[in-house]
Amino acid sequence: MAVDIRADYKPEGIEGAGFFATKLDDVVGLARKNSLWPLPFATSCCGIEFMATMASTYDLARFGSERLSFSPRQADLLMVMGTISKRMGPVLRQVYEQMAEPKWVLSMGACACTGGIFDTYSVLQGIDRIIPVDVYIPGCPPRPEQVLDGVMKIQELVQNESRRRRETPEYKAMLAEYGII
Amino acid sequence: MMTKENQLQIAESLKAHFGDDILSTETPFDFLTITVKKEKIKDVVQFLYNDESLQFRFLTDICAVHFPDASEKFQVVYHLHNLVNNYRLRLKVNMNGEHPELETLTTIFPGANWMERETFDFYGIHFKGHPNLKRILNVDDMLIHPLRKEFPLEDQVRLDKNDAQFGR
């Protein structure tokens, strides 16, 4: 039985002998999607689960995230993993602001999404109170398979994003809602 | 190890030196606990430090308790340890007031610095003479002292909680 095995999605385009013409958006999306450099903002237990995801059994690196960077200037994807306390809020915000466009945010675990089981005076009830989030991964902690699923959803967003999106007034209005100019 | 004779000895020694400033002596769960008048706590701790037979030269913890229904609302608890003989001692101080005041122990134990900051952060107890008494674990501009009983544990910003599922 013939099985169609494809390494990756090929964008629509006109193919010929020695050339392939397609939209720049598609090519750029493909390139960005397969080389997302994450910034692991690991605070608690979800950070440990992320370490398991980066390790050999579940290997996040095969999705292109080989190079993790703790410097926000060099990262595309901010992965917030773990409980963010109110004292940590401004730090997280500053790290987000220091990242260069285009940037995506992945919120992993119940604590980063909504504060988790820690509904207290000291825990920020979800990072989307201070920064815009693209994908939420629920779980306490989410299994590595779920983390990979979340990263794949980010990849989908990355691939389909228009190159002009970061300059549009809608995007700027959304940032203004968070107080990020 | 700390036998009943040792505990008695320590209690007697303190009583002999400080007399009426020692308000009570108990041994709940075999742990020697002495309640001291709040004005004298620093002298008591200094004595326990200096005395060659007592040698309580390690400060394990400083914490506070809030009793909203008692006559003396705040209680600060000091845990001391004698490393030479492995004796542990608990000192309690009771006080009242919106922001009760106590002498700082930072001149005797440098480790008391952060412990007193934590006690201030969560209970609002002021330590006179502390070099840097400001919040340590909570946000700097927080207005309340969270572990006092009048303040709720839960964050009041949540609007989406279903009361029926929380037993209210």
The amino acid occupying position B83 is: L
Q: Quick check: is B59 in a domain?
A: yes
- Residue in chain B closest to A120 (alpha carbons) equals B154
Average pLDDT over every residue of B34-63: 92
B9 falls within a domain? yes
| Residues of A in Cβ contact (< 8 Å) with B157 | 125, 129
CB < 8 Å to B139, chain A: 86-87
Unique residue bearing structure tokens 């599922």: B165
Beta bridge partners of B101: B126
**Average confidence score pLDDT of chain A:** 90
Count chain A–chain B contacts defined by CB atoms under 8 A: 31
Whole-number pLDDT of residue B153:
80
pTM of the predicted model as reported, rounded to 2 decimal places: 0.85
The bridge status of strand B33-36 relative to strand B22-26 is: antiparallel
Task: Characterize A128-138 residue by residue with b for buried, 16 or more Cβ atoms within 10 angstroms of its Cβ, and e for exposed.
Answer: bebbbbbbbbe
CA A93 to chain centroid, in Å, comes to: 16
CATH of the domain at B58: 3.30.460.80
Q: What is the pLDDT of residue A1?
A: 52
Domain count, chain B: 1
Written as one letter, the residue type at A79 is M
User: Which residues, 6 or more positions from B162, have their beta carbon under 8 angstroms from its beta carbon?
Assistant: none
pLDDT for residue A7: 59
User: Rounded to a whole number, what is the distance in Å from the CA of A79 to chain B's nearest CA?
Assistant: 24
Look up residue A133 and give its two tokens: 């989030």
Tell whether the model's pLDDT for residue B123 goes beyond 70.
Answer: yes
Q: Are B64 and B123 in contact (CB under 8 A)?
A: yes
8 Å CB contact of B139 and A86: yes
| Structural domain of B127 | 4-149
Question: Within a domain: residue B165?
Answer: no
Q: Which residues pair with B128 in a beta bridge?
A: B103
- pLDDT for position A95: 95
Please answer yes or no on whether A122 and B138 come within 8 Å at the CB atom. Answer: yes
Omega within 30 of 0 (cis) for the link into B28: no
Q: What pLDDT is recorded for position A11?
A: 84
Name the closest residue on chain B to residue A118, using Cα atoms: B154
Asked if residue B102 is part of any domain, the answer here is: yes
Instruction: List A79's β-bridge partners, or say none.
Output: A40, A106
**In Å, how far is A94's CA from the nearest CA of chain B?**
16
Q: Is B159 on the interface with A (CB under 8 A)?
A: no
Task: Report residues of chain A scoring pLDDT below 70.
Answer: 1-8
Beta strand spans in chain B (E) = 22-26, 33-36, 58-66, 74-82, 87-95, 101-103, 126-128
Answer yes or no: is B44 within a domain. yes
For residue A99, the SS3 value is coil
DSSP assignment, residue B129?
T
What domains are defined for chain A? 24-177 (3.40.50.12280)
The predicted-structure confidence for A71-102, as pLDDT tens digits, reads as follows 999 999 999 999 999 999 999 999 999 999 89
In a domain, B130, yes or no: yes
- Residue A146 CA to residue A97 CA, distance in Å, equals 27
Hey, is the C-beta of B153 within 8 angstroms of any chain A C-beta? yes
Closest residue to A125, CB basis, from B139, B152, B155: B155
pLDDT given for residue B165 in this prediction? 75
| Domain assignment of residue B95, yes or no | yes
pLDDT tens track for B72-96:
999 999 999 999 989 999 999 999 9
Sole residue written with tokens 């070099």: B131
Q: Please write the tens of the pLDDT for every residue from B90-119.
A: 999 999 988 899 999 999 999 999 999 999
pLDDT of residue B43 exceeding 80: yes
B151 and A121 within 8 Å at the Cβ level: the answer is yes
Please report the pLDDT score of residue A6 as a whole number.
62
- Whether B112 is in a domain gets the answer yes
Instruction: Give the closest-approach CA distance of B124 to chain A in angstroms.
Output: 16
